[in-house]
Every structure is written in C-alpha cells, then in structure tokens.
Structure 1
C-alpha cells in the first residue's frame, strides 16, 4: 500500500494557495505573505508526539534566526484547532500552529498519508513570489530535519 496518493511538490513549483484556521484565532492565507515574507510550511503528523514536540519547540528556540531570514514559520497538522492550541500553550511555542483538519492542504502538497490519515513530515520553503524553492519530505514521520539544515537552505535558496 502506498502512503501518498500523489507525489509531493518539488522546488520550482508554484505553491498551492490555502486558507486554514490557526491557533491565533485568525485564518491564515498563504497568498497573504506574497511580496512580504518567505514562508517555511512545515507539515507535522500529530500534536503531542515526541518528534513533533521536539521539532516545534526547536522552531521556537530558533524563532529569531527564522525571523532574521525574513521567514514566517507555518507548522501545519491535521489536528483540530483546540488540540493545537493546547499543544502550543503547553510548550509555550512562539509560532502559531495551523490546522489542516479537512486534509486538503496536505493532499494538495502531496504529503497526506492515506494509510494513516495524517500528513507526513515535510518542509516547503516558499519565496515571496509564492514559488517553492526547497522541499524535503521525510521517509518516515519519525524523522525530522534539524533547524541548522533548514536555515542553511534558507541562506542558499532565498534571494
């Protein structure tokens, strides 16, 4: 059985726009960042799991480094907003978390795992023009990139 129904998007592809709920109480629209900020769209499988907790706390730890690179970090999972709010609060995360509860964004980016119903861990670095400049999808949800690698990608591919 294959995990994904479509192949993940790759660098050079225009990032599909989306509007989703966030822990801020406001909807987040990807195209709202066009011309303003670069975006790191970081899909994570499920709130409160060990690797996801480590990854998202790491985004908070390195929040200033991402900000200095003019990058808005948008972590997204299929969890409902109330669960994400509790997750964010419990670990005092600096980043807002996005809910892809309907799984439409995960499917559009090719990272929805049909076998489990949640997203694979994946990263899409999107420039101010809305083009994916770097993409990485983990082989298994238990793996994650280190922020140093992501920050290096930002340095190398964002103009």
Structure 2
C-alpha cells in the first residue's frame, strides 16, 4: 500500500464524460484522492453527499471507483457532484491496485484516501474498515495542516 512520504503513482483515468484526469505528479495544488468501493451503496453514498455538501478548500478532489463511467455519471448527477468522479473500471482496478487498495476478492477498492502534496508525495492518508465512513472534517484538517 502507498504510505505517507511515498511518491504516489501518476495515472490517468476517465471522468464521467470520458475526459482523462491525471492523478499524482507535480501540480499547483494538493490533491485528495478518495477511493469509494461501490457507487450507489449506502456508506459510499453518504460519503459522496458529505463531499458535495461540505466542499474542500485548498485541494483538488478526485473520487475513484471501479464502477463504469456511465454508472458514475448517473451517480454524480443524482448527488450533484461537481468534482471529478473517476472510473477505474478498465483495466479493472488498475489505479486501486497501484495505490495498493484493491480488494481482489470483491474487485473494489478499500475505503482509503490519500492527500498528495504539490510534488505528488503522499502527505496524509486514512483507511477505514468496510462500512465505516470517513470524515470530511479529517480531510479539512489534513489539507489545512499541509497548506499552512
């Protein structure tokens, strides 16, 4: 699993309209990479709604799932997401595998998030057990600590 102080993988995944979005590497702002196991599921839906209703300042947000981009587009429209939802559908789970968070049994990523600094190095991460939502307040605190 990618750990704090590791350089994150540099990847490109399609958003809900098929436009490639880059993860990792050098960038002007920190990037928060949030893996969600399943679109339209109860806990993942709650996490997505929290990210929509409590926007993050100071970092670019990218939410990833192994669901197909058309399912993610429907989910983004339903929940009002304006940040990128990225499809890790094909090659199935390649991004989750690169970050070390693909559950090979379920074919879905574990509930993990990584805050990357401007150089693409993991500055902070959190991993929650199945069924346990992560906190937007924790994301805010990590971004504030990084950008202070």
Whether TM-score is above 0.5 comes out as: yes
Is 2:19 the partner of 1:30? no
Is 2:123 the partner of 1:130? no
Once the two structures are superposed, the pairs formed by residues 55-134 of structure 1 within 5 Å of their partners are: 55-63=47-55, 66=56, 68-69=57-58, 71-101=59-89, 102-134=92-124
Runs of 4+ in 1 over 3 A off after TM superposition: none
Structure 1: 5+ residue runs without aligned partners? Answer: 1-7
Q: Which has the larger share of strand?
A: 2
Match of 1:21 in 2: 14
Q: Compute the RMSD of aligned alpha carbons.
A: 1.4
Is 2:29 the partner of 1:48? no
CA–CA distance in 2 between the matches of 1:36 and 1:157?
Answer: 13
* Count of matched residue pairs: 146
Query: Structure 1 residue 24: deviation in Å?
Result: 3.9
CA–CA distance in 2 between the matches of 1:25 and 1:118?
Answer: 20
Alpha-carbon displacement from aligned partner over 1:24-70 (angstroms, at most 9, x marks no partner): 43110124x7231210000000100011111111111112xx1x32x
The answer on whether the counterparts of 2:33 and 2:64 sit within 8 Å (CA) in structure 1 is: yes
Structure 2: 5+ residue runs without aligned partners? Answer: none
CA–CA distance in 1 between the matches of 2:107 and 2:18?
Answer: 24
Query: Structure 1 residue 145: deviation in Å?
Result: 1.4
